[in-house]
Amino acid sequence: MTLETDIEAVREHASDTQALYREVCALMFFRYGETPTANRLYQLVRKGSMSAPAKALRDFWVEVREKTRVDVGRPDLPPEVATAAGELAANLWRLSNDAATAALDAFRQEAQSDVAAARQRAQEMESQRNDAALKAEQAASSAATLVQQISGLEARLVELQTANDMLTAQLAASKDEIAAGAAALADARRDFAEELAKLRRSHDQNEQRLAAAEKRALLEIESERAAASRARKELQSANERIALLEAEHRSERDALRDGLATAKAELAASTARCAVIDAQLSEKDALLAERLASADLLRQRLETMSRQLPTARATARTETTPGRPARRSRAKAEPRGRASIDFSGGPFVKRVPNHKR
């Protein structure tokens, strides 16, 4: 307990101001070893005027002196001896009181030092508790930020997977178109083989008359074969490029998944890696669009060949009719019709694909 708590306990049963001040003087002097003063009493009690603690202090010292005065109580002793004996007893009481006060002061100082050390330890513990609470709040905030970033990365992964599915569907569509082009090319080859057989039979029947036509037909056949060979090579190259692109895309997709797993551990580098991945995907999309345009160009060339084959057939039938004048007109008309079949030197036109990315 402290002096302030004892004063508050005295206030509850001491209604008179002077009695309250005297009780406080007794507490200060006898319990806490402090010499009471009027200013100190007024600071502690805060009741009445400034003259009230002064009067109570005077009454307290008078009462103490009266209580400490020793009366021997022997009527047969002379007054001087009785007075000396009383003073001796009073001196003994003062000395013992001083010794007890000194011991009490030493004990109070030790207790105060222990209390101060305990208060310091309590303050240190409070500071550590506040630091721990602050660190816990910071950790909770960091965890919330990490959860938000992970959610953003997962949403980005969903977007990338959706884009990958779209690219896969587009690649399947391009493969179907290439397969249709290959089927059309096979039909064209079959028709051309049939027409060539007819031309050969006609050549056997009209060998002398169609010698020049045979040479032109052989030249056209060689050109068609060269064109078909070039078309096959271009188609094979396109298929290889598409397969390579698909493998690169699959490896990049796996790399993106691995990058996402790494990004959960290294959140600081995830944004830059995602930007790089987006740029790479854009480049691959552009490359895929170019490959699709090449496939479309090949399909256009096959369609052109299929449209030009009937003209070649009609020209061949015209050449097989008897008569010299017809052969002259055919000789004049054939180069024009044959020239229209030669499409190997035509420019490649890049067609923009209609599908949406």
Same domain, 216 and 321: yes
Burial of 106 per CB tally in 10 Å (0-12, 13-18, 19+): exposed
Tokens standing for residue 348: 């490649």
Question: Per-residue confidence at 333, pLDDT binned at 50, 70, 90?
Answer: very low
Same domain, 211 and 326: yes
**Residue range of the domain that includes 312:** 143-341
Same domain, 14 and 46: yes
pLDDT computed for residue 125 by the predictor = 87
With respect to residue 349, please indicate whether it lies within any of the assigned structural domains: no
Q: Is the CB of residue 153 less than 8 Å from the CB of residue 270?
A: yes
pLDDT computed for residue 114 by the predictor = 75
Summarised one tens digit per residue, pLDDT across range 265-322 is 777 777 888 888 888 888 888 988 988 898 888 889 888 888 888 888 788 777 665 5
Burial of 189 per CB tally in 10 Å (0-12, 13-18, 19+): middle
Summarised one tens digit per residue, pLDDT across range 81-119 is 656 666 766 676 677 566 656 765 675 677 678 778 878
Q: Which of 101, 131, 161 is the last residue of a domain?
A: 131
Same domain, 192 and 270: yes
CA distance 227 to 345: 10
With respect to residue 347, please indicate whether it lies within any of the assigned structural domains: no
Q: Which of 131, 163, 192 is the last residue of a domain?
A: 131
With respect to residue 352, please indicate whether it lies within any of the assigned structural domains: no
Number of separate domains in the chain? 2
- Specify the 3-state DSSP secondary structure of 331: helix
With respect to residue 355, please indicate whether it lies within any of the assigned structural domains: no
Give the helix/strand (H/E) hosting 6. Answer: helix 3-13
Sign of the CA dihedral running 118, 123, 127, 130: positive
